[in-house]
Structure 1
Amino acid sequence: MTLAAAKVCVFDAYGTLFDIGGIARSVQGELGDKAETLLRVWRRRQLELSWLPLRAGVAADFWRVTDEALEFAMETLRLDDRGLRHRLMEGWLRPELYPEVIQSLSRLREMGCRTAILSNGTVRMLEAGAAGLRAHLDAVLSAQSVQRFKPDPLVYQLAATHFGVTPESVCFVSANAWDVSGAAAFGFQVVWINRDNVSPEKLPLGTKATVANLAELPVILGG
């Protein structure tokens, strides 16, 4: 099977469709250069917490993980502002889209591709963030429904089960190297969005194709 034969396209959300850099830009006026540093520490801690084994009796709640990571980041940068913390968290409910997202998803649908988001975000986070994309998506799938976080195979299985297809029939798209590797290990055909222009020798394990942004995806899929 080639990428051109894949008729289901599944996308990670944060960093792939949603530009979380907008959260830092929204507070740059009050934090200056600290805004980007805060987001970088926050995002890293958020992912680290999501990769830890879940404690007994603790739900896989990405909103909680995000809040705990923000607390860590703000303490690291010695920021103590409850109003700022609230605004930063709310940014995850109103993420900016990368500029090519809507046109690219629309083109994929014209080509007959079924499309979905598959993310660690909670149902509430994803429903809010993807509100403007629903006309271009067949499904919004949250890891919350299986009480696991990616890269657990149970999360990737959500997409295969929803569409009733084998993993190799799915083109999975992510800007996160760890997600690319996890999805490829599950059996998806994975496209890595290299938005940061990382050197080619640092390709994530299992990458079938690399694009700079989503505008290139329809061509790879035969459009």
Structure 2
Amino acid sequence: MSPRPILVFDVNETLLDLDHLCPLFDDIFGDGAVMRDWFAQLILYSQTLTITGLRSDFGTLAVAVLRMIGEIRGVAITEGHEDALRRTMGTLPAHPDAEAALVHLRDRGFRLVTLTNSPPSGGVTALDRSGLAQYFEASFSVQPTNRFKPAPQTYQLVAEALAVPLSDLCLVACHVWDTIGMQALGGKGALVTHDVNAALVLPGVPQPDVTAPDLAGLAQTIAARWGPAGA
């Protein structure tokens, strides 16, 4: 039986429901589906900044990308829109099955931490407001590395803080670029698709160790894959 990994959860979209932003994008652009374009561009440009060595924080970049999408679509983005985006991102609710999934894993002896592109807030976070923060022994931000996921340094930060090798970590995410990032370093990957994502089937690219359509199913699959506590 494979050794039990420490589970490193992504936060935005994986644990917290990003679709909560759709009404805001509907108000701004008349189409809530624009949220998906904005988020894809946000990830693209976070990775662009990392590759080029330029710096920003995720929240500031999120607003800049909103302004960019507005210019592309001929929609004036106001300070009110920017404030609403910041506020709504800070109050994303948990997916309905998130808490039960975390309880299932905790009760079976898994160690749980988070790793997010978002900067430390210095106050109450969306994870706190969702009620999920209590299930994690530690929460990590990529901010100290001045890089965004999937830069190797972001995952190494977690391994160093926990004093374990990367092979002892399993990245749990709704984004396959995130699981690939961890697996390329010798760690494990668990993909929850939430009906909006899928694995990238490509020669030479590691496939997630486990995949499920929702967090409840993923928790059960992880527990079955890596066995009872003490295994």
Task: After TM superposition, give the deviation of residue 106 of structure 1 in Å.
Answer: 1.5
Q: Which residue of 95, 119, 143 corresponds with 1:122?
A: 119
Task: After TM superposition, give the deviation of residue 91 of structure 1 in Å.
Answer: 1.3
Partner of 1:15: 13
Amino acid in the other structure paired with 1:215: A
Task: After TM superposition, give the deviation of residue 26 of structure 1 in Å.
Answer: 4.6
Partner of 1:205: 206
Q: Which residue of 54, 63, 68 corresponds with 2:64?
A: 68
Amino acid in the other structure paired with 1:103: A
Q: 1:110 to 1:208 in 2, by over 3 A?
A: same
Unaligned runs of 5+ in 1: none
Q: Which residue of 101, 104, 107 corresponds with 2:104?
A: 107
Task: After TM superposition, give the deviation of residue 75 of structure 1 in Å.
Answer: 1.8
Amino acid in the other structure paired with 2:215: L
CA distance in 1, matches of 2:162, 2:123: 19
Amino acid in the other structure paired with 1:122: P
Indicate conservation of the 8 Å contact 1:10/1:170, yes or no: yes
Partner of 1:194: 193
Amino acid in the other structure paired with 1:45: Q
| Count of matched residue pairs | 218
Indicate conservation of the 8 Å contact 1:193/1:213, yes or no: yes
Task: After TM superposition, give the deviation of residue 78 of structure 1 in Å.
Answer: 2.2
Partner of 1:87: 84
C-alpha RMSD of the superposition: 2.5
Q: Which residue of 46, 53, 58 corresponds with 1:50?
A: 46
Deviates more, 1:163-172 or 1:150-159: 163-172
Task: After TM superposition, give the deviation of residue 179 of structure 1 in Å.
Answer: 1.0
CA distance in 2, matches of 1:170, 1:77: 41
CA distance in 1, matches of 2:150, 2:182: 7
Task: After TM superposition, give the deviation of residue 64 of structure 1 in Å.
Answer: 1.6
Percent sequence identity over matched residues? 24
CA distance in 2, matches of 1:125, 1:91: 17
Task: After TM superposition, give the deviation of residue 85 of structure 1 in Å.
Answer: 2.6
Counterparts of 1:91-170 in structure 2 under 5 Å? Answer: 91-124=88-121, 128-131=125-128, 132-170=131-169
Amino acid in the other structure paired with 2:9: F
CA distance in 2, matches of 1:175, 1:191: 9
CA distance in 2, matches of 1:59, 1:18: 25
Q: 1:125 to 1:177 in 2, by over 3 A?
A: farther
Indicate conservation of the 8 Å contact 1:10/1:118, yes or no: yes
Residues 132-178 of structure 1: CA deviation (Å, up to 9, x unaligned): 22211111100002211111111001221222222222221111121
Bigger fraction of residues in helix: 1
Task: After TM superposition, give the deviation of residue 33 of structure 1 in Å.
Answer: 4.7
CA distance in 2, matches of 1:198, 1:145: 28
CA distance in 2, matches of 1:201, 1:51: 18
